[in-house]
Structure 1
Amino acid sequence: MSALGDGRFGAVLDAEWSVGTRLHGGYLLAVLARAAGESAAGAGHPHVTAVSGTFVEPPEPGEAVASVRVLRVGRSVAQVRAVLAQEGRTRVEAHVTLGLLDDAGPWWSAHEPVRLPPEQECFLAPTDPPGAGMRVPLMAVVEERIDPEHLAFAFGAPSGHGVIASWQRLADGSDWDPLSLLVALDPVPPVSFDLGLAGWVPTIQLSAYIRRLPAPGPVRVRLAATDVGGDRMDEVAHVWDDKGRLVAQATQLAAVRVPADPNPWGRV
């Protein structure tokens, strides 16, 4: 990322961080959060702590410009508005809150880490998923191992529970940090697969919180849906680090094609 002056930063969007032909939503938010951190607001507030992004148009791999406008700089937080543009068109817009994170555990937490089999007993997601009809280049940079109990959809028998859990590591061996956790919070496959809803699930809006600095090692991710209808679906993600502490959480609204059957699972 290069500074262009006047709160503008040049970026090159990497096609490797894609699902099919679309750049990954968490990656795009990380690009904007990085620009926010490199702006004047990031001087005393080096970490992204919250981001709310709206995906206006899908950007293409290649050159883009991230523009940052500082809204407020306080003692503990700084708030900025960031826009990712290509060819003069807004592609993604976000409000980013910056602060200073540490690795202290929570004072109180209602969420225990999701239970998963050992990493090596979980299914390593490939870049060319069988039957998907598209490549997932993202799986070359993020090593994701999915709980075998949540893979019934791959055999034509989705559970209908609306939950997918996995281990995740960065494939190059890097440790997770506040920026890369934004990628972990938008995992693939979408939880709609566990509901028997195939096809593209584009993110419309995503809000994420980064709670603390993660410990070195893999993270555990649980993705779940709460309600599906009107061709819309929510996805709620929680991420725990290798010490079992909640380090990030997110909620997103996504578009999904809902079949005509109003009650496919025989439940009210």
Structure 2
Amino acid sequence: MAIFREASAVVERGDGFTAELDPQWSVGDKLHGGYLLAVLGRAAVARAGAGHPHVSAVSGTFVEPPEPGSADIRVETLRTGRSVAQVRAELVQHGRVRVSSLITLGQLDSTDAHWSSLEPVELPDEQECYQATVEPPGATFKVPLMGVIDQRMDPRQLGFAFGKPSEAGVLSSWQRLGDGSDWDPLSLLVALDPVPPVTYDLGLPGWVPTIQLTAYVRRLPAPGPIRVRLSATEVGGDRIDEVAHVWDSTGRLVAQAIQLAAVRIPSA
């Protein structure tokens, strides 16, 4: 299902929800972490009700990779207040919790920031950037996610594709939803888990499984493409942090995230 709303749909069943996890929203044979959080977020929105329609904060722990196909979602309302609702949501397959999350919901708007320390990342025009493909050159696995996300990467940061990573620890891109719809608080969770991981720019290609991801959605994005900047702070102990910032087409910061992921560091 290339349409995000359909791919992330949930159906209420008894005390919880069910979802049909779509293999298109994958990297290799693993479902994309941001997509999984969006599915849990949609269930949380349904449970929180009309007074709290938007996900504003998500903390997700990835226990083990779920499989494409049917999954159950357990949702527990922790608190519902005037401006904030707090929910625990878990994705379950074969009786095992695969992803666990704490989700905060409220009412977002498009008001400009009172103060910000960040300027939007500078990128060449979309047409001058490299369009990521389902079959990246030189890769040993496919990236089906690139068939549902239109991602155009800064060509100045593609040295890793030619065996010459910059080792600056930064990757930036333009992104649009492949179905042509505008970004919203749930789909932004996909953008906050960018592909490829920043390890590629550090000369560490390979699988980088997310252990924990915390995301904040700051405001409703304007229509049009978003700019995404992914960076790292430190690599060590077989772990890496990845920090993502997302700006909308007007240059406003609309979302940010930090995740802890596993990385394989070659022996000296």
Q: Same fold (TM over 0.5)?
A: yes
Does the alignment pair 1:19 with 2:42? no
Shift of 1:260: 2.7
After TM superposition, list the pairs within 5 Å mapping 1:64-213 onto structure 2: 64-213=71-220
Shift of 1:42: 2.8
Letter in 1 for 2:54: H
**For residues 208 and 49 of structure 2, what CA distance do their matches in structure 1 show?**
33
TM-score, normalised with respect to structure 2: 0.96
**For residues 24 and 125 of structure 2, what CA distance do their matches in structure 1 show?**
27
| Cα deviation 1:129-164 (Å, max 9, x = unaligned) | 011110100001000000001100000000000000
Aligned length: 259
Alignment partner, residue 266 of structure 1 = none
| Cα deviation 1:16-47 (Å, max 9, x = unaligned) | 000000000000000000000001x2331000
Alignment partner, residue 245 of structure 1 = 252
The structure 1 segments of at least 4 consecutive aligned residues displaced by more than 4 Å after TM superposition are none
Q: Is the partner of 1:208 in helix, strand or coil? A: strand
Letter in 1 for 2:223: P
**For residues 41 and 163 of structure 2, what CA distance do their matches in structure 1 show?**
38
Does the alignment pair 1:46 with 2:42? no
Shift of 1:259: 2.0
Identical aligned residues as a percent: 70
Shift of 1:172: 1.0
**For residues 146 and 134 of structure 1, what CA distance do their matches in structure 2 show?**
19
Alignment partner, residue 264 of structure 1 = none
Shift of 1:198: 1.1
TM-score, normalised with respect to structure 1: 0.96
| Cα deviation 1:72-110 (Å, max 9, x = unaligned) | 001110001000000110000000000000011101111
**Matching residue within 14, 18, 22 for 1:10:** 18
**For residues 238 and 49 of structure 2, what CA distance do their matches in structure 1 show?**
38
| Cα deviation 1:166-204 (Å, max 9, x = unaligned) | 000001110000000000000100000000001100000
Cα-Cα RMSD: 0.6
Answer whether contact 1:42 1:98 (CA < 8 A) is retained.
no
Q: Is the partner of 1:31 in helix, strand or coil? A: helix
Answer whether contact 1:185 1:248 (CA < 8 A) is retained.
yes
**For residues 229 and 17 of structure 2, what CA distance do their matches in structure 1 show?**
33
Alignment partner, residue 63 of structure 2 = 56
Answer whether contact 1:208 1:249 (CA < 8 A) is retained.
yes
Does the alignment pair 1:229 with 2:229? no
Letter in 1 for 2:65: P
Q: Is the partner of 2:103 in helix, strand or coil? A: strand
Does the alignment pair 1:34 with 2:42? yes
Letter in 2 for 1:188: V
**For residues 16 and 174 of structure 1, what CA distance do their matches in structure 2 show?**
17
